[in-house]
């Protein structure tokens, strides 16, 4: 069966895309939770904490509603036999004195009873929907926020190796798939099971021999449902995986659109997206094929049971006996019985649907859990860094990025006094930025120790450490919002005067004032309407307003012209005078006045001293300087 099915599944989308899916290694996110047996249950147990009572209430109400809803045919059967076949009219739990003995009052009694039961059924149904909905929404909210919080707290090593589009896919698509499941499946699952259970109970009460015959097909039904369920899960894993890869591709292409255009790469990029979209379409097609066959197969089996019951029951009613079956069966028993047999089809279809949703949600839960399990961040340090003096020590530090063998830092030893300004220079890839990432504890050294005020940074709470260090990157990120909001990002209580003072010190006030909306100008999703130099100055203002005891400028003025840089440096002199400051720069004039210049080469410190010292030494720094001032050819 699987062979022919496999061929059918590949017939729609292209062969290439199909092969691509087969060949692809399961992504790191999904693989991280591969050994989790019940990912969805684990996730809901944590996400649903405190609200499980709503599932209990919903479940009880739903079961009650189904048993009551399904009771009507049972009562109608008894009433018909009483009215037309002169049988005794007796109902469980109803005192016999309440039931009339003449046909017309019996009809009135039956109608009133059925109407009353419908009212109870409706009330319980509303209560069930309400309870399940409440559980779903609260749980989903918690799972979404928890997942986002987990992603945010992951080590930088995770983001280095995981494409942001894929992470977004977990936060968006996988959480949405969980939403689709939670909004429908718990109630529908209970409804299906209790519809089946109530039908079985009433069938058994009507005629348990015939009930057993109708149920002969049940084991086959369960086995087929299980088989399809397993296939659903495997196929859904592929779909989620392909969605993640596609999202990552779309995300990088849109954010790198300028480069794509510059190289005229639109056609090439469209081809790449087309290939990945085809792989996604193949995965979805194959997953849908399972769904397309699942329900009809179950319906066919349930239909077979119905036809068999119809044959046996009608033969039995006509002849007054059937083969070895004892006793007789009346029309008043057979008609509701057939109804119950037929009413098993709908919940079986529901069950197939719920199984599909469950398997989809299970794949998503696996990825959400995977994000939590992949490289969990090391425990946060316990020591809070309070108003540090700013002494920084690198004690024979060596480091390779996670997952790589290349030593990016080798035996780096550096002591920086409080208040000192250190310029870091060296060729590209020498390890300057990496040195500062270790100071902020984005990564831990493989050997040696980085200390701030004598504390190993691993022992410090990351939040208190990073609050103490103002960091400006070469391509700073601006948040969607106004310039004012961006500058005041870390200081809720900042006044307009504070914001302006910070902007002046960063050399940003002038160009901000020239903008029509001034400080209220929106900077768009990634600050696109500002130049690189303007964005850098806003980022410097943001750090100055936060007023941290230590500063790190990593090529922070590389996009501004020489004149503006000199102006910024002058206004920063006062700010940096008392604080430990690191300045990474390729333009050596930026660090010329630093208290000390540290020259790095291939992960090592090769020289250090003041500008004049280093020039006098006539080593690496002097070479770099000569190249920059044009004294020698590069």
Ligand X SMILES: Nc1ncnc2c1ncn2[C@@H]1O[C@H](COP(=O)(O)OP(=O)(O)OP(=O)(O)O)[C@@H](O)[C@H]1O
What are the residues binding ligand X (CB under 6 A)?
160, 401, 404, 408, 426, 428-434
N residues, the chain: 634
Q: How far apart are CA 81 and CA 76, in angstroms?
A: 9
Least distance to ligand X from the beta carbon of 487, Å?
25
Least distance to ligand X from the beta carbon of 432, Å?
4
Task: Give the rounded distance of the alpha carbon of 501 from its chain centre.
Answer: 40
Lookup result for tokens 């089809």: 345
Least distance to ligand X from the beta carbon of 160, Å?
4
Please say which residue, 160 or 510, places its beta carbon nearer to ligand X. 160
The dihedral region occupied by 407, where left means phi > 0, alpha psi between -120 and 50, and beta the remainder, is: beta
Please say which residue, 322 or 443, places its beta carbon nearer to ligand X. 443
Maximum Cα interatomic distance, the chain, rounded to a whole number of Å: 121
Least distance to ligand X from the beta carbon of 437, Å?
7
Please say which residue, 275 or 410, places its beta carbon nearer to ligand X. 410
CB proximity list for 50: less than 8 A, separation 6 or greater: none
The answer to whether 170 and 368 have CB atoms below 8 angstroms apart is yes
Sheet holding 604-609, edge to edge: 469-472, 550-554, 580-584, 421-426, 596-601, 604-609
Least distance to ligand X from the beta carbon of 295, Å?
48
Helices (H) and strands (E) in the chain, counts: 24, 10
Q: How far apart are CA 604 and CA 431, in angstroms?
A: 8
CA angle 508–514–517, rounded 5-degree value: 100
Least distance to ligand X from the beta carbon of 137, Å?
39
Please say which residue, 36 or 602, places its beta carbon nearer to ligand X. 602
Please say which residue, 123 or 161, places its beta carbon nearer to ligand X. 161
Least distance to ligand X from the beta carbon of 231, Å?
39
Least distance to ligand X from the beta carbon of 404, Å?
5
Please say which residue, 348 or 408, places its beta carbon nearer to ligand X. 408
Please say which residue, 401 or 489, places its beta carbon nearer to ligand X. 401
Both tokens of 548, joined, read 């941290």
Report phi then psi at 450, rounded to 5: -110, 130
Please say which residue, 271 or 446, places its beta carbon nearer to ligand X. 446
CA dihedral 581, 582, 587, 592 (to 10 degrees): 50
The answer to whether 505 and 448 have CB atoms below 8 angstroms apart is no
Q: How far apart are CA 373 and CA 365, in angstroms?
A: 12
Please say which residue, 39 or 431, places its beta carbon nearer to ligand X. 431
Of 71, 74, 118, 81, the closest CA to residue 103 belongs to 81
Least distance to ligand X from the beta carbon of 440, Å?
13
């Amino acid at each position: 069966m699987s062979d022919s099915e496999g061929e059918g599944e590949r017939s729609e989308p292209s062969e290439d895309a199909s092969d691509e899916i087969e060949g692809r290694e399961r992504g790191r996110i999904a693989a991280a939770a591969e050994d989790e047996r019940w990912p969805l249950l684990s996730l809901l147990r944590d996400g649903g904490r405190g609200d499980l009572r709503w599932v209990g209430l919903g479940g009880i109400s739903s079961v009650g509603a189904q048993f009551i809803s399904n009771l009507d045919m049972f009562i109608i059967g008894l009433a018909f036999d009483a009215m037309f076949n002169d049988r005794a009219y007796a109902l469980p739990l109803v005192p016999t004195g309440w039931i009339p003995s003449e046909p017309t009052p019996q009809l009135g009694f039956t109608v009133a009873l059925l109407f009353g039961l419908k009212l109870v059924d409706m009330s319980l149904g509303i209560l069930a929907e309400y309870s399940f909905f409440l559980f779903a929404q609260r749980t989903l909210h918690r799972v979404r926020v928890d997942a986002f919080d987990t992603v945010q707290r992951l080590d930088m090593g995770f983001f280095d190796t995981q494409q942001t589009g894929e992470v977004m896919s977990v936060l968006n698509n996988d959480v949405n798939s969980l939403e689709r499941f939670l909004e429908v499946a718990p109630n529908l699952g209970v409804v299906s099971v209790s519809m089946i259970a109530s039908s079985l109970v009433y069938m058994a009460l009507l005629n348990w021999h015939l009930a057993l015959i109708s149920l002969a097909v049940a084991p086959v039904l369960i086995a087929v449902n299980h088989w399809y369920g397993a296939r659903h899960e495997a196929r859904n894993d592929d779909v989620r995986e392909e969605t993640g890869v596609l999202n990552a591709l779309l995300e990088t292409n849109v954010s790198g659109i300028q480069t794509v255009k510059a190289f005229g790469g639109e056609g090439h990029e469209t081809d790449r997206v087309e290939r990945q979209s085809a792989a996604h379409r193949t995965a979805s097609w194959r997953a849908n094929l399972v769904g397309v066959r699942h329900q009809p197969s179950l319906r066919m089996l349930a239909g077979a049971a119905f036809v068999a019951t119809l044959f046996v029951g009608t033969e039995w009613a006509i002849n007054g006996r059937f083969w070895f079956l004892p006793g007789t069966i009346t029309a008043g028993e057979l008609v509701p019985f057939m109804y119950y047999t037929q009413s098993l089809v709908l919940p079986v279809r529901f069950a197939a649907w719920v199984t599909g949703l469950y398997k989809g949600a299970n794949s998503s839960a696996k990825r959400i859990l995977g994000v939590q399990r992949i490289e969990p961040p090391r425990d946060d340090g316990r020591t809070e860094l309070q108003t540090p003096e700013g002494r920084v020590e690198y004690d024979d530090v060596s480091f390779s990025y996670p997952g790589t063998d290349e030593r990016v830092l080798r035996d780096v030893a550096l002591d920086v006094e409080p208040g000192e300004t250190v310029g870091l220079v060296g060729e590209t890839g020498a390890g300057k930025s990496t040195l500062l990432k270790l100071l902020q504890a984005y990564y831990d050294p493989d050997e040696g120790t980085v200390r701030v005020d004598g504390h190993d940074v691993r022992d410090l709470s990351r939040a208190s450490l990073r609050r103490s260090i103002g960091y400006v990157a070469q391509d700073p990120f601006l948040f969607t919002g106004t310039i004012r909001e961006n500058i005041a990002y870390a200081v809720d209580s900042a006044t307009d005067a504070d914001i302006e003072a910070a902007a002046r010190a960063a050399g940003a006030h002038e160009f901000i004032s020239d903008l029509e909306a001034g400080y209220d100008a929106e900077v768009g999703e990634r600050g696109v309407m500002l130049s690189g130099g303007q964005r850098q100055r806003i980022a410097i203002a943001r750090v100055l307003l936060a007023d941290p005891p230590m500063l790190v400028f990593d090529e922070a003025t590389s996009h501004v012209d020489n004149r503006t840089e000199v102006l910024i440096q002058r206004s920063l002199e006062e700010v940096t005078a008392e604080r430990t400051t690191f300045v990474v720069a390729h333009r050596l004039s930026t660090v010329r006045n630093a208290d000390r210049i540290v020259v790095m080469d291939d992960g090592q410190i090769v020289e250090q001293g003041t500008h004049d010292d280093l020039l006098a030494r006539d080593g690496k720094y002097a070479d770099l300087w000569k190249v920059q001032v044009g004294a020698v050819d590069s």
